[in-house]
A = this chain, B = another copy of it.
Amino acid sequence: DARMGVLYDGDDWGFTSRARLQFNMSGETDGGLTFGASFRVNDEGAQSGARQASTGTRGTVFIAGDFGRLAMGAPAGAAEAAVGDLYEVGLTGLAFYNEVDYLTGDGAGINGAWNPTVLYSYTFGDFSFYASASDGNNAGGRVENPATDEGSQDYSVAVAWASGDFKVGVAYESSEVTTVAGGVATTADTQDQWVLGGEATFGDFGLKAIYVNGARNVAGGVNTYDYEEYGLSGSATFDLVTVTAFARETRQEFPVNTLSNRYYGIGARYDLGGGASLVGGIGHRDVEYGSALNAPDTYGDFGIAFRF
């Protein structure tokens, strides 16, 4: 895929463009299992740091059959696979304000980028079941570093139900980050949350809502807090034009004050045919801490997106 356009970052305009290519490989065993792997050229790139498809921390590898589907590498976590994000706006994603704050999978959460993830999914009638986990070793688990062996771990389980125009998902995520000093695991931050999502699709109209409720326990108790997150997004297609919008808020209940982040976005896409679209959008964030409102942040972009 590729795109070219302009991006407003809250202060001034700049150019934005990119060109990418994804490889999808697949096969089938004699016993009828399907398998495959996919990654992009830039999953091996300089900016991906030590995360690479060739070391299992980008891209995905999967095998599927009657038993379900097992994916490794950097798949989404179970919660994200079952519930997903609000509808995206803009050419570049506009800081991805539409994305739910998942704890696990795909580089997400305090456990972060370096843990390879496994995702198991199984569909039975209208129900789909998902489970995912990182392996609890740092550095991809290939070589043991005794000083950091007490690795961080996360996991997630989720169920989704889909029937006709409706889809509902509920998920639980848990993440534990172990800090090691002098070869001894001394502290552990834990965070866990419930994620609830629902989506309705009526022909050219779509509506999606999410709700998150969780708590973070920081070792030593400082900054331990409960939090909530809720969001709503809608999409409507009129002939060649699709309009999308979302609103999302996160509330972190610190002992003294509440930190609120409010995100809004609206965008439109005009289909030029042949894989090309004119795409533009605006995204905005307000931050409220206690009674003071500060740090608004606005992004805007416009350009052409290509699929090949």
- Give A contacts to B, CB under 8 Å: 2-4, 7, 9-21, 23, 25-31, 33, 35-42, 44-50, 52-56, 59-63, 70, 72-73, 92, 116-118, 134-137, 140-144, 146, 149, 272-276, 304, 306-308
Contacts and interface: CB of A to CB of B under 8 A. Distances in A.
A141 B40 CA distance: 23
A139 B162 CA distance: 43
A66 to B, nearest CB: 14
A55 B44 contact: no
A69 to B, nearest CB: 12
Contacts of A134: 15
A30 to B, nearest CB: 3
Contacts of A11: 144, 146, 149
A273 B30 contact: yes
Contact of A276 (B7, B35, B137): B35
9 contacts: A12-B136, A16-B140, A16-B142, A18-B54, A18-B55, A18-B61, A21-B25, A35-B304, A92-B142
Given A9-B142, A272-B29, A17 B63 contact: no
B46 A42 contact: no
